[in-house]
């Protein structure tokens, strides 16, 4: 069966991308896999490493709940039609890896461009260059 991967982060742009992906999946008879990426908020030496180990499971569970809520807010009753994947990774890395077996990767756009995009990097740009499948950028 065809698979459409879509990035979610709780933003309005990702909600629009998720709704687009669900509609496209209906047309194609595909399944939708919503991917949410998170990272441990602290970096540093041994103390941070110990804190990360102690808090990892709780943080993973918290992020999974956040992703479920984001899907529910975006889709309402259709939320159960979407598979969810919550990964501890950078957003672009998580999406590119999740798209390994996908037919399509869908990402939202926050409208950044020009110098900000060049300096900050862009998940959508990284996905467009590195994804192993076609990428759809859903604009506002």
pLDDT category of residue 70 using cuts at 50, 70 and 90: very high
The band of 41, judged by pLDDT with boundaries at 50, 70 and 90, is: low
What kind and span of H or E run contains 5? Answer: strand 3-7
Does an H or E element contain 106, and which? strand 104-108
Q: Band of the pLDDT at 91, cuts 50, 70, 90?
A: very high
Confidence band for 23, pLDDT divided at 50, 70 and 90:
very high
Helix (H, G, I), strand (E, B) or coil at 77: helix
pLDDT exceeds 90 at position 20: yes
Query: How many C-beta atoms surround the C-beta of residue 66 within 10 A?
Result: 16
Tell me how many helices (H) and strands (E) the chain has.
5, 5
Q: Where is average pLDDT lowest: 80-89, 101-110, 119-128?
A: 119-128
pLDDT of 119 over the 70 cut: no
């Amino acid at each position: 069966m065809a698979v459409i991967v879509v990035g979610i982060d709780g933003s309005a742009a990702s909600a629009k991308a998720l709704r687009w992906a669900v509609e496209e999946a209906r047309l194609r008879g595909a399944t939708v896999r919503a991917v949410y990426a998170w990272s441990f908020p602290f970096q540093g030496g041994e103390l941070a490493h110990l804190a990360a180990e102690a808090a990892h499971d709780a943080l993973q569970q918290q992020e999974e709940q956040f992703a479920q809520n984001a899907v529910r807010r975006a889709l309402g009753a259709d939320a159960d039609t979407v598979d969810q994947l919550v990964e501890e990774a950078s957003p672009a890395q998580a999406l590119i890896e999740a798209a390994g077996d996908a037919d399509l990767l869908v990402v939202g756009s926050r409208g950044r461009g020009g110098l900000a995009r060049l300096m900050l990097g862009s998940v959508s740009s990284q996905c467009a260059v590195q994804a192993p499948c076609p990428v759809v950028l859903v604009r506002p």
